[in-house]
């Protein structure tokens, strides 16, 4: 899951911009034939910042091993079901992660 997210350039770029409060992001959707939307971003929340930091570490590390400790801690604060290290489906984690980030915006 984390490897897939780290290889999503649009997500990485959006998180990079979201990290800087007051940034205006232009969202275009050619397939929906809508006017481009300009959205001013507020201060990012802790889950969004943890996700940005984790993806940045994955891109920059030379060690080959990155531990998502802070990101996992932030996910657990939003979705208590992940505490305790029980086996969970990756799609459930992804849903809670993305929904949690969206709720912070």
Q: Is-above-0.75 flag for pTM?
A: no
Exposed / middle / buried, residue 55 (Cβ in 10 Å: 0-12, 13-18, 19+) = buried
Q: Are 61 and 6 in contact (CB under 8 A)?
A: no
Domain boundaries, the chain: 5-103
Mean pLDDT across the chain? 77
Q: Over the stretch 58-77, which tens digit does the pLDDT of each residue have?
A: 888 766 778 888 988 888 88
Residue 89 confidence (pLDDT): 72
């Amino acid at each position: 899951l984390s490897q897939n997210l780290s290889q999503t350039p649009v997500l990485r770029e959006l998180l990079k911009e979201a990290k800087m409060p007051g940034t205006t992001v232009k969202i275009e959707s050619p397939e929906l034939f809508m006017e481009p939307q300009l959205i001013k971003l507020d201060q990012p929340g802790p889950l969004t910042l943890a996700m940005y930091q984790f993806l940045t570490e994955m891109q920059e590390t030379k060690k080959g091993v990155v531990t998502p400790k802070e990101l996992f801690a932030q996910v657990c604060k939003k979705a208590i079901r992940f505490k305790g290290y029980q086996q969970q489906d990756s799609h459930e984690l992804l849903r809670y992660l993305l929904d949690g980030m969206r709720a912070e915006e």
